[in-house]
Structure 1
């Protein structure tokens, strides 16, 4: 598991090296990736280590102060929540949304002339973006905060999280109305591919952070299901472009 902490007092590369050495000397800590510019430390540990133990490791150098961040608080909430729920209970909102969207998409794909896979995919993708953007719009700031924890662009430019909400909404409308299909699928392919990279990195690093796909309404942890979700949208947009 990887948790993010705030560290103040670091002013140079020497400070970074000192803090990194002190933290990695703690048993069960695998690595500590420290950002001097952001004043943060992503600490990967074999098991949960209390914040007080991390602070004790820096006690001989009082100018270095370690504290929990919003990311860490969310991670602990996710741990507590998921430990009490089964996999089905945890991801029930996404599974239900997916089932409803698939049902509507297959119904829309049927016609007197047969079955249209293109229409099915277009309706599913339109519904996907409209529904998921709806949940993000309920708390745009909450989504932007969560998205900035793992997305490649949002990490550096937090405003991207706010923009992304309206990109999803626009894509949903474009798919639903079937306007500019090639441009719509091209944008989907690019945007979802960038998002997928951040998701894969977080899952591989076993970071306990909230998945921002449904905004801040549901406390869903990042997992391989998020990878499947993004990869599915990428695959369908690519397939529609090739058909």
Structure 2
């Protein structure tokens, strides 16, 4: 990978300031607010909120990737374990994410939705860890090519957080297990 000119070692201080992640944080805050708004007067509490948050989050992030599929695929192939070997997967991934988001929002097959989310997030986490260990300076494809956010521990936290929420929902949602 070191002979690939499309990425390089991380520049000093890149990703070191809160402003470097404002676009990501704003999307997270907006999806959290949307999840709160839709569950405000609905029974189900925080578990229901997580469900809607994940739905909005995945749909928003899929949309950013779909804006420019080719650019997303270029970035995704730099670190994702499957996309490195299959450009087709890099093109399909945003639609997997969109399908998961819509499944969360519609409560379609929750056990399958949670399980697929866990698998996708584990694969994503492993790819991010690998890229971070190599200290690669690449933009996080999670935001598509629309927003300039470096791949970092924030990306890792996002993948791990979504995986953990899916595990919590899988284990605590009544009637799932």
Structure 2 length-normalised TM: 0.89
Residue among 68, 87, 92 paired with 2:17: 87
Residue among 134, 140, 156 paired with 1:227: 156
Q: Whole-Å Cα distance in 1 between the matches of residues 42 and 103 of structure 2?
A: 25
For 2:3, the equivalent position in structure 1 comes to: 5
Q: Whole-Å Cα distance in 2 between the matches of residues 184 and 120 of structure 1?
A: 16
User: How far did 1:158 drift?
Assistant: 1.5
For 2:39, the equivalent position in structure 1 comes to: 109
Change (3 A) 1:163 1:112: closer
User: How far did 1:228 drift?
Assistant: 0.5
Residue among 210, 214, 225 paired with 2:143: 214
Larger Rg over CA atoms: 1
Query: Between Structure 1 and Structure 2, how many residues are aligned?
Result: 172
Q: Does 1:186 align with 2:106?
A: no
User: How far did 1:208 drift?
Assistant: 1.3
Deviation by residue 1:48-98 (Cα, 9 ceiling, x = unmatched): xxxxxxxxxxxxxxxxxxxxx2x13xx48x749x65x86222111000011
- The structure whose RCO (Cα within 8 Å, separation 6+) is larger is 2
8 Å Cα contact 2:24/2:149 also seen in 1:
no
Q: Does 1:177 align with 2:175?
A: no
Change (3 A) 1:123 1:238: same
Q: Which has the higher helix share?
A: 2
Question: Which segments of structure 1 move beyond 4 Å, counting only runs of 4 or more?
Answer: none
8 Å Cα contact 1:108/1:119 also seen in 2:
no
Deviation by residue 1:142-185 (Cα, 9 ceiling, x = unmatched): 00010000001111112110110110111111111111111111
**Gapped regions of structure 2 (runs ≥ 5):** 173-177
Structure 1 length-normalised TM: 0.66
The residue correspondences of 1:33-48 to structure 2 (distance < 5 A) are none
**Gapped regions of structure 1 (runs ≥ 5):** 7-68
Secondary structure of 1:153's counterpart equals coil
Alpha carbon RMSD of aligned pairs, Å?
2.0
